[in-house]
Amino acid sequence: MASLTRPFVVRVPGDKSISHRALMFAALAEGESRVQGILESADVQSTAGVLRRLGVDVPELGPDIRVTGRGLRSLHAPREVLDCGNSGTTTRLMGGIVAGFPFEARFVGDESLSRRPMRRIAAPLRAMGASVELRDGDSLPMLVRGGALRSVSWESDRASAQVKSAVLLAGLVGGVEVSVAEPERSRDHTERMLAAQGAGIVIDELKVSLIPPAALAPLQLRVPADPSSAAFFGALAAMMPGRTVVLRYVCLNPTRTGFFDMLSAMGADVGVEHAREEGGEIVGDYVVTGAPLAGVTVGGAAVPAMIDELPLLACVASRAGGETRITGASELRVKESDRIAAVVSNLRTLGVDAEELPDGMIVRGSTQPLRGRIVTHGDHRLAMAFGVLGALPGNEIEVDDPRCAVVSFPGFWERLGEATRAFGD
Active site residues: 308
Beta carbon of residue 99, minimum distance to ligand S3P (angstroms, whole number): 17
Site string for ligand S3P, 319-348 (x = CB under 6 A): ------------x-----------------
Shortest distance, position 331 Cβ to ligand S3P, whole Å: 6
Q: Is 161 in the site for ligand S3P (CB under 6 A)?
A: yes
Q: Among residue numbers 5 through 24, which ones bind ligand S3P (CB under 6 A)?
A: 17
User: From the CB of 19, what's the least distance to ligand S3P, in Å?
Assistant: 9
Which of 335, 364 has the CB closer to ligand S3P? 335
* Minimum CB distance to ligand S3P smaller for 201 or for 294: 201
Query: Which of residues 261 and 418 has its CB atom nearest to ligand S3P in the complex?
Result: 261
Query: Residue 424, Cα to own-chain centre: how many angstroms?
Result: 31
* Closest distance of CB 334 from ligand S3P, Å: 8
- For ligand S3P, the closer CB: 186 or 395: 186
Site residues for ligand S3P, window 384-423 (CB under 6 A)?
A: none
Selected range binding ligand S3P among 126-134, 139-147, 159-167, 367-375, rule: CB under 6 A: 159-167
**Interaction with ligand S3P in 61-120: which residues (CB under 6 A)?**
89
Pick between residue 243 and residue 335 the one whose CB is nearest to ligand S3P: 335
Piece of 146-154, 161-169, 172-180, 355-363 that binds ligand S3P (CB under 6 A)? 161-169
Q: Return the number of the residue (187 or 377) whose C-beta is nearest ligand S3P.
A: 187
* Cβ-based burial of 62 (10 A; exposed 0-12, middle 13-18, buried ≥19): exposed
Q: Name which position in 98, 166, 288, 307 contacts ligand S3P (CB under 6 A).
A: 307
Residue 236's closest CA among 414, 388, 405?
388
- The residue from 33, 47, 86, 162 that contacts ligand S3P (CB under 6 A) is 162
Binding-site member from 188, 269, 285, 308 for ligand S3P (CB under 6 A): 308
Alpha-carbon distance of 290 to 267, in angstroms, equals 8
- Which DSSP category does 39 fall into? -
Contact 30, 217 (CB under 8 A): yes
Residues 29, 69: contact at Cβ < 8 Å? Answer: yes
Distance of closest approach, residue 367 Cβ to ligand S3P, in angstroms: 31
Q: Which of 160, 179, 229, 244 binds ligand S3P (CB under 6 A)?
A: 160
- Give phi and psi for 86, each to the nearest 5: -100, 5
Provide CB contacts within 8 A for 141, sequence distance 6+. 81, 106, 107, 108, 114, 134, 135
Half-sphere exposure (Cβ direction) of 74: Cα atoms closer than 13 Å: 20
> Least Å distance between CB 191 and ligand S3P?
11
Tell me the window of 155-163, 172-180, 207-215, 342-350 that interacts with ligand S3P (CB under 6 A).
Answer: 155-163
**In the complex, what is the shortest distance from the CB of residue 251 to ligand S3P, in angstroms, rounded to a whole number?**
12
Number of residues forming the site for ligand S3P (CB under 6 A) = 11
237, with CB counted inside 10 A (0-12, 13-18, 19+), is buried
Nearest to ligand S3P of 30, 308 (CB atom)? 308
- How many angstroms separate the CA atoms of 34 and 32, rounded? 7
Minimum distance, C-beta of residue 305 to ligand S3P, in the bound complex (Å): 11
Specify whether the CB–CB gap between 308 and 276 falls below 8 A. no
Which residue's CB is nearer to ligand S3P, number 22 or number 239? 22
Separation CA 194–CA 204 (nearest Å): 17
Adjacency order of strands within the sheet including 207-211: 152-155, 178-181, 207-211, 200-204
CA trace torsion 263, 264, 268, 273 (10° rounding): 110
Distance of CA 114 to the CA centre of its chain: 18
Question: Is residue 156 near ligand S3P by the rule CB under 6 A?
Answer: no
| 298 neighbors 349 (Cβ within 8 angstroms) | no
Beta strands 152-155 and 131-135: pairing type?
unpaired
CA distance 393 to 414: 17
Segment near ligand S3P (CB under 6 A); pick from 29-37, 158-166, 240-248, 386-394: 158-166
Distance from C-alpha of 286 to C-alpha of 398, rounded to nearest angstrom: 29
Q: Which residues bind ligand S3P (CB under 6 A)?
A: 17, 89, 160-162, 165, 186-187, 307-308, 331
